[in-house]
Amino acid sequence: MKPSFSIIFFTVSSGYGLGLAAVLAALTPELPHSAFLPTAVCAMLLTGGGLLSSVGHLANPKNAWRAVMRVRTSWLSREAVLAALFFPLMAGWMYYDGTTAATWRVAIFICALLTVKCTAMIYQSLKPITAWHHPLTSINYMLFSLTGGGLLFAVFTASNNGNTATASLLTTICALSAGIGKILHYRRIGAAQDIRVGRATGFSQAKARLLDAGHTGPTFLTREFIFELPAARLRLWRYVSLPLIVLSSLAGASFTFNGSAWGGGVCVILMFLGLLMERWLFFAEARHIVRLYHGKGPA
């Protein structure tokens, strides 16, 4: 699949924001009262920035409102509705200063995590892309979101001399779990994408092969669904992105546990860069089955 920066930035930025909102709702008593508003505003800005970026991916942005019209059948619509609900919930929580109100906290915690889940399900539900069509897709999205949110929460807490023990521990657990989950994803991705023409067409009586691609130049399908890079280059991105995410998260948790907000802040930026690389790879390595009908992939 062709990686699009607007979608990459959207999933990373909104994942950070929604993860921060979920952790903020769960660990509100751990955060000094003076840091509540800046943390909540940061969660809204990250989420809003990501959503605005996603609009840039639309061929016709003025039709974005149509994304909420198919809630019963579309994960994209469910994501749009939940994201739209997230902002008034956060605004209400901030307006009423409900830092300890259980109802607001539960509602925001559920809404934030469900929005991340819906984002992941947009990709996981796509059967033609076998690398994505697996529960690890949504598990990894959730874990990366909670890792980033936990680390940001720990930074805000440390900068206000709060107790960072719980947030640092949460960040460490989520970072290690996310690393293991991503390694499992990489292990299955090669075998899962070994799709051949015979399997794709369902014809099993003889060896099927493509005689002609049916076009002489690039088409919309070949531009959007076929993205080719050397395997060695893709492996290099794996070796850089995943260690960068996990190690920066663990280092950030260690810094904030010891009360260093600046060290944690630098690690937040490094993890953000690592997630941008990981998400680019998520798209670059995905192989849509339509490539077989255009002469790409094994026979």
Task: Give the chain as a DSSP string.
Answer: ----HHHHHHHHHHHHHHHHHHHHHHSGGGS-GGGHHHHHHHHHHHHHHHHHHHHTTSSSGGGGGGGGS-TTT-HHHHHHHHHHHHHHHHHHHHHTT-TT-HHHHHHHHHHHHHHHHHHHHHHHT-TT-TTTSSHHHHHHHHHHHHHHHHHHHHHHHHHTT---HHHHHHHHHHHHHHHHHHHHHHHHHHHHT---HHHHHT--SS----S--S-SS--HHHHHH-----HHHHHHHHHHHHHHHHHHHHHHHHHHHTT-HHHHHHHHHHHHHHHHHHHHHHHHT---GGGGGGT-S--
Fill in the amino acid letter for 2. K
Asked if residue 67 lies in contact with residue 78, where contact means CB atoms within 8 angstroms, the answer is no
pLDDT digits (tens, 9 = 90+) for 248-284: 999 999 999 998 899 999 999 999 999 999 999 999 8
Fill in the amino acid letter for 98. G
| Mean pLDDT, all residues of the chain | 87
pLDDT at 8 over 70: yes
Query: Tokens 């909670």 appear where?
Result: 146
pLDDT of residue 171: 95
What's the average model confidence in pLDDT over 137-153? 95
pLDDT digits (tens, 9 = 90+) for 64-120: 777 777 888 889 899 989 998 999 999 998 887 666 678 889 999 999 999 999 999
- Is the entire prediction scored with pTM above 0.75? yes
Query: Tokens 């993205």 appear where?
Result: 227
pLDDT digits (tens, 9 = 90+) for 195-231: 677 766 677 777 777 777 777 777 777 777 877 788 8
Using a pLDDT cut of 70, give the percent of the chain over it: 92
Q: Return the closest-CA partner of residue 152 out of 143, 141, 164, 142.
A: 164
CA distance linking residue 209 with residue 298, whole number of Å: 9
pLDDT of residue 286: 84
CA distance linking residue 112 with residue 108, whole number of Å: 6
For 83-93, give one letter per residue: b (16+ CB within 10 A) or e: beebeebbeeb
CB atoms within 10 A of CB 197: 17
Query: Tokens 């280059």 appear where?
Result: 233
Confidence class for position 14, pLDDT limits 50, 70, 90:
very high
pLDDT digits (tens, 9 = 90+) for 242-256: 999 999 999 999 999
Asked if residue 39 lies in contact with residue 159, where contact means CB atoms within 8 angstroms, the answer is no
Least confident of 31-40, 77-86, 120-129, 187-196: 187-196
What's the average model confidence in pLDDT over 8-25? 94
pLDDT of residue 190: 67
pLDDT of residue 278: 94
CA distance linking residue 124 with residue 75, whole number of Å: 10
pLDDT of residue 212: 73
